[in-house]
Amino acid sequence: MSFRKRLLAVAVLLIGVVVALPFLIDANRFRGPLQAKLEKSLNRPVSLGAMTLKVFPLSLRVADVVLGQPNGFVSKAPFLQAKEVFVRVALFPLLGGKVDVQAVELQSPAVELIRSAAGKWNYETTGVEESDVIPTVGVTDGSLAMTDLQAKAPREVYEHIDARWSDNRSLTAKVRLDTMRAQASVDATYENGLAKGTLTLQGDDTKQPLTLAFDILQSGETWNINQ
């Protein structure tokens, strides 16, 4: 048998193994260990629903994902909830019963950010190690609610967020803001310390004064910008 035929045979065998994976592996066997690991690293209650294995791309589909609020934060809404999350995994570790996460895709997640009266955010309690950082995280049609108890500001909700973060410190995000009288959309990227983006206003009330206020965190310094 020629080298080319052997290579083709190996490729066919691998494809056959991948296609058969949903019948060979019960994805729900990973739910308990994965849930326990997440609770330990995130310092908050975690609930994972039914899990199924998807072949192309190879990923675990997790239904009804809920990350609770950490101790000290009271809210009717959890920190994060999503009806569907896809966790892309590596093939060979999976065959050995291990989950090597390559990327996470969240479909229509709802995130509830809260800053306490003492100035602490509810995302600051996570104890994620450097080795546990997920290489790529994607969000499709997400929503973000923000409550600042320190500033005594009303709760704000931002919807239709599409974002992608990677461990090379790059971030791409698209956000539509419906809380303004004129609809605004933000398309921004951040990579290698450089941020750029565009702000677009749509509607009949676009001539009203626009106030922007945001913080830039870089190398331990904070720059407050108001316009």
Contact present, 174 and 163 (Cβ < 8 Å): yes
Q: How far is CA 36 from CA 87, 96, 102, 124, 195, in A?
A: 16, 20, 19, 19, 36
The pLDDT of 121-138, averaged and rounded, is: 74
Whole-model pTM: value is 0.69
Average pLDDT for the chain: 75
- With tokens 């570790």, the residue in question is 93
69-79 pLDDT, tens per residue?
Answer: 998 898 999 99
Residue 109, pLDDT > 90, answer: yes
167-214 pLDDT, tens per residue?
Answer: 666 666 666 655 445 555 666 666 665 666 666 666 555 555 555 544
25-40 pLDDT, tens per residue?
Answer: 778 888 888 888 888 8
**Least confident span in 18-32, 97-111, 130-144, 148-162:** 18-32
Residue 95, pLDDT > 80, answer: no
